[in-house]
A and B are shown apart, each in its own frame.
Chain A
Amino acid sequence: MSDALSLSGQNKTLNVLPDDDVQAEPTQIDWKTILKPLSLITGVFLLFFFLPVDSSRFTESIVEALALTKWYAREHVLLCLVPAFFIAGAIGVFVSQAAVMKYLGAGAHKVISYGVASVSGSILAVCSCTVLPLFAGIWKRGAGLGPAVAFLYSGPAINVLAIILTARILGPELGAARAIGAILFSVVIGLLMHIMFRKEEQAKATAALHMPEPEVERSLGQNGLFFAIMVALLISATWSKPAQAEGLWYAVYSVKWILTGVFALSLGGLMVRWMGVKLYKVVGAAAVVLALALAVPHEPLGAFSAGIVAFVVLLATTRGESETWFLATWDFAKQILPLLLAGVLVAGLLLGRPGSEGLIPSGWVSGLVGGNSIWANLFASVVGAFMYFATLTEVPILQGLIGAGMGKGPALALLLAGPALSLPNMLVIRSVMGTRKTVVFVSLVVVMATVSGVVFGRFFA
């Protein structure tokens, strides 16, 4: 109220001034600070003004979005995502960056450097923003353009979380094809780019290299055992009920919680021996989980959740690397879960659950990327290459697309071209290695993704 008064007061004084001075008076309106919130408010207003709440398609899509999110929450968060976060966190903490980067330095053996670069994405891409400086370093100071490009592609494409979630939700064939495809792609694309730009690559600065300090405390075999047990725990906890109530798969299913418990105990044992976790804490945690499992045997999720909480307590109350492990895991969860929630909601709204429709009619999807034609595959790879997928959101989006009639081939094409590339990321890559190399890199990814899609679709349609 007082603001309005003072404004009208100012207006009066302005009116007394001669015309020239009125012109010279600077405006009080700073459009720069107004435009952004104003357009946001207008946008929200228009959204609700035209909100089609009467349309049954719209309301059904909202229900679909909520139902899909509920399904994720019930089936995938506790058993699959949370253990996967711990595995990813462990990789970031226990696998020494220095040990890996040694193979990407200037003097490294070429064959080995390609091999290491193609799988190192799963180990080194702890923070996506470190991929580019590492890429530039490998290219200019280290093993050269080929391994650097291999690293650039495989970094985002084969991170553990993405592979685990793909296999769990889109099926083991697609999960395996994605992992194998990403490793093969990175080597082939790296080699091709090395051959194409060989002449330009002769001159190379020879400066001292600064590797991260090695902090290895365990041997490779010890780390291997550690990760094998964690992956085994994840697999047994997520083991799903087979269609027939007999055979080996069913036998595993019927004892899956006992297996999970055994693996959890072995993990606890290793933590006592190698990470200095106190024995009485592990025994106490195991006792609580076992008591819960025996008290409510028909609700294994209760005991499993208690196990997760107990595990967090063990990690967070032990100083040193177990504490770091907890922090790394938390960083992953904090960064990825909100994005994934948004991704699942949007995918459910637009595409619905498999078997039902969302806002986008299934006919459009199956018309564009149904079947396994070259065009469907090419379209999927080009869209995938330019579109930005936040970490892991490609999985619910693809689930929706497949449910709406997308072929398995185009789905793989999108998975191989999508997460590694996006328009913003192309612009950044261009600023580092120039337009020509970027165009070649993107074209190679699109062409190879299309070809792999066609081949995969032929065998797994």
Chain B
Amino acid sequence: MEIKILGPGCPKCQQTESVVKEAVAESGLGASVEKVTDTMEIAGYGVFGTPAVVIDDEVKSVGNIPKKEDVLGWIK
């Protein structure tokens, strides 16, 4: 499973990254968490707002910090 966090590096994006990493660690599943900071690549996903979370090329959240329970739901 590939998890991507889209965001240019503002505090909210960093918070999102730590929430996702916590959720992955808690689930015990093997998943790679990657941060995407390149503006054009972010735009390529068609997201209108950052931070955004993309799991296996599917956009899961846009413009807010997701809750850990939500992330756990997406990756199960």
Interface residues of A (CB under 8 A from B): 97-98, 101, 104-105, 127, 129-130, 132-134, 136-142, 207-213, 331, 428, 431-432
Contacts and interface: CB of A to CB of B under 8 A. Distances in A.
Nearest to B64: A212
Contact of A210 (B9, B10, B40, B46): B46
A136 B46 CA distance: 9
A376 B50 CA distance: 40
Interface of B: 6-12, 39-40, 42-50, 52, 59, 61-64
A436 B69 CA distance: 46
B7 to A, nearest CB: 8
Nearest to B38: A431
A209 B48 contact: yes
B37 to A, nearest CB: 9
Given A129-B10, A211-B62, A432 B48 contact: no
Nearest to B51: A130
A456 B45 CA distance: 43
A24 B48 CA distance: 56
A136 B43 contact: yes
A141 B46 contact: yes
A98 B9 CA distance: 21
B64 A136 contact: no
Contacts, number: 79
Contacts of A138: 48
A130 B8 contact: yes
Contact of A432 (B39, B47, B59, B61): B39
B54 to A, nearest CB: 9
B64 A207 contact: no
14 contacts: A127-B10, A127-B12, A133-B7, A133-B50, A134-B49, A134-B50, A137-B48, A140-B44, A141-B43, A207-B46, A208-B46, A209-B46, A212-B63, A213-B61
Given A133-B50, A211-B48, A211-B62, A139 B39 contact: no
Contacts of A133: 6-8, 39, 42-43, 47, 49-50
A319 to B, nearest CB: 14
Contacts of A207: 44, 46
Nearest to A206: B46
B40 A101 contact: no
A136 B49 contact: no
A172 B8 CA distance: 36
Contact of A101 (B44, B48, B52, B61): B48
| Top-6 shortest CB links A-B | A212-B63, A136-B43, A129-B10, A210-B59, A212-B49, A101-B48
B63 A97 contact: yes
Contacts of B48: 97, 101, 104-105, 134, 137-138, 141-142, 209-212
A136 B62 contact: no
Contacts of A212: 48-49, 62-64
A306 to B, nearest CB: 31
Given A97-B63, A212-B63, A213-B64, A130 B50 contact: yes
B42, B43, B44, B49: residue with the most chain A Cβ atoms closer than 10 Å: B43
A297 B12 CA distance: 43
Nearest to B13: A129
Nearest to B52: A210
A137 B46 contact: yes
B9 to A, nearest CB: 6
Contacts of B44: 140, 207
Contacts of B12: 127
Given A212-B64, A213-B64, A132 B39 contact: yes
B43 A137 contact: yes
Contacts of B47: 133, 137, 210
Nearest to A132: B39
Nearest to A100: B48
B42 A136 contact: yes
B68 to A, nearest CB: 17
B9 A129 contact: yes
B43 to A, nearest CB: 4
A398 to B, nearest CB: 27
